[in-house]
Structures are given as C-alpha cells and as structure tokens.
C-alpha cells in the first residue's frame, strides 16, 4: 500500500514537471491585476449596456470591484507616483456608481437584473456619464 502511494506521488510530480505545474502563478490580488479586471469589466459593460436585451452582468462585477477589492488593493500596493489621486478618483467613482447604478440593480440575485421600479434608461444614462469619469481614471493609470 505504501509503495503504491509513493509511486503515485512520484508519477504525479513527474507529470507536473513535464506539463509546467511548477511555474509561478499569476497574482490575482495585486492592484495591477485588479485594475485590469476592472478595465475588462468596464469594456464589457460598454459593449453590453445598449444591447437589446442589455447585458447587466458586467455592472455587477464592476460593483464588486469598486465596492471592495480595488480601493483596498490600491491603498496597499499601487506603486504609481499619483497614488493619492488614483485612490481619490476610484473612491469618487465608487460612490457615484453605488448611488446611480448599484442602487438600481438587484444584487441579491444570481442573475444581474434591475430592481423593481428601476428604469433601464436611467441605468444606461448613469453608466455613460460615469464612463467619462472612468476614462479620466484610465488616463491617470497610463
């Protein structure tokens, strides 16, 4: 029994070495990575918000990143010389996004959808207005 376990462990180690399991993993928690995810979600939201029916899924992802992950991570490890300005812009964007978009989404559901009584046109208008602020943030990060 012990010999089988050792043989299995050795075989697994050999296979992992051959296929590259020992490579360094991509960091999923540094600010650069999270800002990239935010950018990807924002780009997807731009593409989906005006579709019929609209794709509201990226709006939920943006909310999650702006509400929690991105601001905390920027505070911890953002290395740009404009750290204070970037953090202030993210915080302002988060507050406006929460007030104008997140408050109109049903975030308890597994599927992104509008809350009862919320109007899609209000969400679209708010998104495109906040998109201008997001573009300013993108310029700060370049």
Tokens linked to 112:
């992104």
> What average pLDDT does this structure show over 66-88?
93
DSSP string, 5-29: HHHHHHHHHHHHHHHTTTSPPPPSS
Q: How far apart are CA 90 and CA 133, in angstroms?
A: 9
Give the three-state DSSP class for 133.
Answer: helix
Query: For residue 25, what pLDDT is reported?
Result: 52
> What average pLDDT does this structure show over 32-59?
94
pTM given for the model:
0.77
DSSP string, 66-126: IIIIHHHHHHHH--STTHHHHHHHHHHHHHHHHHHTGGGEETTSSS-EEPTT--HHHHHHH
* Residue environment code for 116-141, b if the CB has 16+ CB neighbours within 10 A, otherwise e: eeeeeeebeebbeebeeebeebeeeb
Query: For residue 110, what pLDDT is reported?
Result: 85
- Among 7-21, 60-74, 96-110, which is the least confidently predicted range? 7-21
Q: How far apart are CA 132 and CA 89, in angstroms?
A: 12
């Amino acid at each position: 029994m012990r010999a089988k376990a050792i043989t299995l462990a050795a075989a697994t180690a050999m296979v992992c070495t051959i296929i590259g399991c020992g490579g360094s993993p991509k960091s999923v928690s540094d600010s650069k990575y999270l800002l990239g995810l935010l950018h990807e979600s924002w780009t997807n939201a731009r593409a989906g918000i005006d579709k019929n029916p609209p794709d509201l899924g990226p709006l939920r992802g943006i909310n999650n990143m702006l509400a929690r992950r991105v601001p905390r991570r920027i505070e911890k490890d953002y290395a740009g010389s404009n750290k204070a300005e970037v953090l202030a812009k993210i915080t302002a964007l988060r507050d406006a996004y929460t007030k104008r978009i997140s408050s109109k989404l049903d975030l308890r559901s597994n599927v992104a959808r509008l809350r009862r009584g919320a109007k899609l046109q209000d969400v679209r208008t708010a998104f495109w207005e906040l998109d201008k602020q997001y573009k300013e943030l993108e310029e700060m990060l370049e």
